[in-house]
Amino acid sequence: MKTKILLIGIDGLILRTAIDSGRAPTLTALKDAGHFSEFTMAVPTLSGPGWSTLLTGSTHAEHAVKDNNFNGHNLLHRPDLLSRAFYQDQSTTTFAAAGWPPLVDPVGVGPVIHERREQQRAERHRVIVRDGETYGYKLIDSEIAEAAVYAVSKAGPDVNFVYFCDADESGHTHGVVGEHYVDAIGRIDSYVSRLHAAVTSRAKELGEEWLMVLTTDHGHVDEGGHGYGSDQERASFVIAAGVGRANPTWPEQFEPENLVELLLAERA
């Protein structure tokens, strides 16, 4: 049986702050239990180029996403993790849920996750699109979490991407020092906890092997904001915890654009 993958993207997360706050017990436990690598995101440290790199295994030059407008992007030639897993094995079922439209909404400027309408009609690919930019991520992340917990519990797709942006939004509004940012991190941690429980119970009851993977696209400066080259803006990480299987034997040091290849190799 092939490993199932649950990749959780937490936008604008400063992991050190999350752990030191004591408000992220699930993230902390997964970091301690799993494989852990730190890496440095390329500049500009913006969500568009950052997630495009992490989700398509491409450098900024390769995906040509320069900012959050996505003008002139090359994403049609740089298929995402879910698409590549499907092309690698066409029995693969995939699921994506995100509240930032450029990641998933085919009507918008991306999307980074390809629509693959034929696979949606065949019920091999499902995409949950929400709009946190309009309705706020505190609400929208909770909807994404509900949908993702339900999908993972009931259907258990083979390769999943679930995205949260409450912490990033809070960082932009209030900065990353103080209660607001860690409050948002606490909410996201509770979603990760529920997803972890869903995966754990599938592993126990169905004998499935899961890899739970967490990463971020950039940090923030203390007063909130990102895009430039400070260490705190460029810092990212990967946590990869096996559930019902061992942790992956990945190199301690690798680049953000290598993550997709490492994940696909787990399904080879």
Give me the residues that bind Zn ion (CB under 5 A), please.
Answer: 11-12, 47, 217
Distance of alpha carbon 224 from alpha carbon 171, whole angstroms: 5
Distance of alpha carbon 90 from alpha carbon 92, whole angstroms: 5
Q: Residue 226 CB, nearest distance to Zn ion (Å)?
A: 7
Residue count of the chain: 268
The residue (of 52 and 93) whose beta carbon lies closer to Zn ion is: 52
Distance of alpha carbon 164 from alpha carbon 216, whole angstroms: 10
Residue of minimal Cβ distance to Zn ion:
47
Q: Residue 253 CB, nearest distance to Zn ion (Å)?
A: 23
Q: Residue 91 CB, nearest distance to Zn ion (Å)?
A: 33
Q: In a 3-state reduction of DSSP, which class is residue 21?
A: helix
The residue (of 44 and 244) whose beta carbon lies closer to Zn ion is: 44
Q: Residue 148 CB, nearest distance to Zn ion (Å)?
A: 19
The residue (of 12 and 244) whose beta carbon lies closer to Zn ion is: 12
The residue (of 50 and 79) whose beta carbon lies closer to Zn ion is: 50
**Strand locations in 55-155 (E):** 94-98, 125-129
Q: Residue 8 CB, nearest distance to Zn ion (Å)?
A: 14
Closest CA to 35 of 219, 233, 214, 264: 214
User: DSSP for 83-101?
Assistant: HHHHHH-TT--EEEEESSH
Q: Which residues contact 205 (CB under 8 A, 6 or more apart)?
A: none
The residue (of 79 and 132) whose beta carbon lies closer to Zn ion is: 132
